[in-house]
Every structure is written in structure tokens, then in C-alpha cells.
Structure 1
Amino acid sequence: MDYSISTHCLHSTPLDAALETLAPHTGHVEIMDDGPHFLTDAALLLSYSYKYSIHAPSRGVNLASVLEPIRRAAVEVIHDTLSIAAEVDAPVVIHPGYIAWEYERELAGKNLRASLAQIRSDAAEFGVTYFIENMGNWGYFYLQTPADIELLDGALFCLDVGHANECGTLKEFLEVPFSHVHLHDNDGKHDSHSAIGEGNIDFDKVMTKVRENNVSHPVIEVETLEGALQSLNVLREGGYS
């Protein structure tokens, strides 16, 4: 099993320097396409021999917004990400959005489905695979529990094990078929993106499900480079390679 490392661990570093730093450790990288690593074109990525996945912009994007101009703009951001991903043959990870007020949940869910329908069409046009990721315990985000899976209307699922652990739903989410995975640890209370082995997640159970779901390049999405490399060693030494 080959592991990917997310540029999340070097997100304060310019992307070109981050890619140089990761080169000795992995041939697979997930670009945290936000902030300093926001992509406007594929030129830099094409200058390396990595196999990529791309985590679409998320901090300022809300696919479930009840404000139609904002929802349409969010879909446009994802469209641009899919366009770049097509150039480097990369799948894309997408956050499902959130509601501002609990009484807007039904409308926001309807809008999320509308956004995902457009994304489905755009992804087919570009020939890009995409996954929708479960969220941590952050206010009114969707996909904190498997009950929201139905909102995805059949879209492929990315399991973030740290988010699920923070929400107390990891056991339930491990029973949901997933096609992509983010690996990091925490204490079940905070989304710390800690190195594997520094929290309370049972990675024997997690990696058994990763294998059952035939996820070929699990993504190590840890806060620091030291923690990412520590996690890589733990996974390899634990017989998960």
C-alpha cells in the first residue's frame, strides 16, 4: 500500500517548497488547495512527477448556502478545481457545506443536493473522480453522522477518520463504503490532526476497513511534517504497507 501525504503538514510553506520537502518521502501528494497552496493553474503540479489528489477549497466555500449567489459561487470554485485536477489526472475531495441556522436545514439540504448535481455534471465533463468528506464537530456542518450520507445522492465518500472520531461516529462511519480516506489521530474531543498513535483511534480497525474498501493511496493528513513522517513510519512498521 502506497501512502499519500497532504500538504496540510506544510501549509504555511509555499507550495513549491512543500513539494520539494515531501519528494524524498512519497510519490503521492494531496494538495490542500486553500490559502498559500491555492491553485490557479496546473503548471507547478505538472513540473513534478507526483501522483496527486486535490482537496478543494473549503474555508470560504459553502455548497449548502441558502443564499443563491453564494451557492453558485461555491459551485464555480469547485468547477475551477475540477478543471485543474483534470490536467494532472487527480481526484478531488470536497466538503459538503453547512447551515447557518437550524431552521434552514431542509432548504440548505436541498441546495446542497443542487450543488452536488452540478458538480456531478462538471466532473463528468472533465473526467474527474470526486469524493465528499465527512466533517468534524464544527457547528452546523453536514456529514457529522452517517445519517447525512443520503444527501450525497450516490456520490463517492471520503472518510476522514479524525473528524469521525471527534464526532463520536467513527464506528458507524467505518461501516459506510468509502473510496478515499484521510488518516490522522486525536483524543476524540479536538480536531488536532495529530500523528497516528498520539490519540485514541484504533488504527488496526481503521486499516482493516481501508483494505476492505480497496483504498490504494490513503492520505496522511497531519498538522506537522514531523507528525506526518512519524505517521508514515507507524503505518509501514505496523504492517499496513
Structure 2
Amino acid sequence: MENPIYFASFNMLELKPEEMVRQVEDHGFDGVEILADGNHKLDQENVGVFQEIRNDMSLSVHAPFEGVNLASLNDEVWEESIRKTKKAIIGASKINADITTIHPGHLTSVTTHFPDRAWRRSIRSFRRLSDIALEHNTNIAIENMPKMEHLFCKHPSEIEGFIETVGRPNLKFTFDIGHANTNDNIQGFLEKPENIHHVHIHDNKGDYDSHLEIGDGNIDFQKTLRKLSKFNGPIVIEGRNLEEGEKSKQKIMDINS
């Protein structure tokens, strides 16, 4: 497989959008995944910047998650979470991004006593957001989460059941390999590679979502990428910095050559 390779990093949020994209392009990446928050939020000004860039670099979007909880039973928190995510989806449509990846929401000290209600609230959120995305001719994707007790959608059965219950054709799946490794279920997700629409890649040692350079953790990327051989979408390296990202990119290319 010859997949386009994108880069994303929280550590680039302090840069202006045009500078962030320039640096990613200078390191030889095919595209960039925008974390639509802070300096990179998809407001009118930044949408204009990314529209100009779109001719030179492919783009995908990660919806904001700081202060966002799409499973919240607090109506004010929930409505604000919907508002911020909706803004990212509409912005993604305007810049012709490949897809917008969204976290499923999480339990709180209160909703840990009502997990079924929180789960249903998340389902409701994604139905609403999928419909918004459809109105704007774009797709969204739910992402599998790392091993943390309060997070939803850590396992293949959860992801599959969630998407089936939402019941919207434009809700896809972003497979995060590093997150899956913390739950020891990479191979479980790879049993149905046809369900995967978008890929996040980074390494860890199974105990923590550390976003290491590929090769510095314990993930068998030879085996993993071989099982993704029919996947032709973008692979997004979620790295700590561009230098490690570039090394990871080369390792992916070597494995796939």
C-alpha cells in the first residue's frame, strides 16, 4: 500500500496555521491533521488560511476535545460541546478536509453512576453531528480511545455497536493504533479492516498513551501494517514533534516498500 502520510501534534498549536503547515510540508508530509482548537480553531480567518493551503497540502480535522464531552448529562456542557464540534465540522467542509475525527465523550464523577444514560447521550450527539455533516457534504469519524476507565469506545465491539446504533452512513471509524495497543486489542480491530476509514499511528509500550516515535514502543508495525495492506486512506502520525514524526514516516515507508 502507498498511503498518503499526514502529521499532527499538540505541540504545534502555538504556531500560526500557515507556519504550522509550512513546517509540516518542509518535513515531507503529504498532509496535516488540524486540531481545531486554540490557534487552529476553524473560525472565519483560519478557514480562509486553510482554504489557500488546501491546493498544496491535504487536510483532515480533529474536533476539539478540551472542555468537550458529548456524553455529558449537563445540558449546558452538552450544548457547548455540540456547538464546538459543529463549528469544526462546518469548517472542515469549507476547507474540503478528508474527514473530522471526534471523541465519543466520557463518564464523569456523576455519570459514572449512570453509564447507560451517558452512552445514550453520546449516541444522540453523533446522530445530530452526522446530520449536520451530511448537510455540509462531509463525513465524520468516531475514534477508539486509550485504556482509561472513564472513556467510552475502547474495544471493537463498542465501536461497531456505536456506529450501528447511530445508524448514519456518513459516520465512519478512525482507527488509532496506539490507543488500541493500550487495550491490547490491535488485532481485534484488524479482524474487520474494511470498517477502517482513517488511521492514527504512534507507538507506546502498552501501559500509557505516550505517542512515541515508531519503533520506541512494543507495537508490531510490520504485522499491523501488513493487515492494513488494502487500506488506501491517509495515515496520520500523531507525534510529539516533527523530528520524531519524520523518522516515523520513514519507518512506515520502509515497511510498506
TM-score bracket relative to the smaller structure: over 0.9
CA 1:138/1:13 → structure 2, altered by over 3 Å: closer, same or farther? farther
Alignment partner, residue 184 of structure 2: 168
Q: 2:49 aligned with 1:33, yes or no?
A: no
Q: State the shift of 1:166 in Å.
A: 1.2
Asked if the contact 1:7/1:18 (under 8 Å) is kept, the reply is no
Q: State the shift of 1:151 in Å.
A: 2.0
Match runs of 1:84-99 below 5 Å: 84-90=91-97, 91-99=99-107
Asked if the contact 2:41/2:88 (under 8 Å) is kept, the reply is no
Q: Which amino acid aligns with 1:15?
A: P
Residue segments in structure 1 that go unaligned for 5+ positions in a row = none
Asked if the contact 1:112/1:151 (under 8 Å) is kept, the reply is no
Q: Which amino acid aligns with 1:151?
A: F
Deviations 1:16-44 (A, max 9, x none): 22111111212311112223332323111
Alignment partner, residue 18 of structure 1: 20
Residue segments in structure 2 that go unaligned for 5+ positions in a row = none
Deviations 1:61-108 (A, max 9, x none): 111111122212211211111111111111111000001142211000
Residue aligned with 2:125, SS = helix
Alignment partner, residue 77 of structure 2: 70
Q: After the TM superposition, which of the residue ranges 26-35 and 94-103 deviates more from structure 2?
A: 26-35
Alignment partner, residue 5 of structure 1: 7
Q: State the shift of 1:47 in Å.
A: 2.3
Alignment partner, residue 234 of structure 1: 251
Q: Which amino acid aligns with 2:58?
A: K
Cα distance between partner residues in 2 of 1:9 and 1:233: 21
Q: State the shift of 1:185 in Å.
A: 0.3
TM-score (norm 2): 0.87
Asked if the contact 1:9/1:228 (under 8 Å) is kept, the reply is no
Q: 2:50 aligned with 1:45, yes or no?
A: yes
Q: 2:124 aligned with 1:110, yes or no?
A: no
Residue aligned with 1:23, SS = helix
Q: Which amino acid aligns with 2:197?
A: S
Q: State the shift of 1:7 in Å.
A: 4.0
Q: State the shift of 1:52 in Å.
A: 0.5
Residue aligned with 1:211, SS = coil
Asked if the contact 1:53/1:92 (under 8 Å) is kept, the reply is yes
Equivalent of 1:146, from 151, 156, 162? Answer: 156
Q: After the TM superposition, which of the residue ranges 13-22 and 44-53 deviates more from structure 2?
A: 13-22
TM-score (norm 1): 0.93
Alignment partner, residue 217 of structure 2: 199
Cα distance between partner residues in 1 of 2:106 and 2:77: 12
Residue aligned with 1:47, SS = helix
CA 1:182/1:9 → structure 2, altered by over 3 Å: closer, same or farther? farther
Q: After the TM superposition, which of the residue ranges 228-237 and 3-12 deviates more from structure 2?
A: 3-12
CA 1:215/1:108 → structure 2, altered by over 3 Å: closer, same or farther? farther
Q: Which amino acid aligns with 1:235?
A: I
Deviations 1:105-131 (A, max 9, x none): 100011011101101110100001111
Question: Percent identical across equivalent pairs?
Answer: 29
Cα distance between partner residues in 2 of 1:160 and 1:9: 19
Q: After the TM superposition, which of the residue ranges 153-162 and 191-200 deviates more from structure 2?
A: 153-162
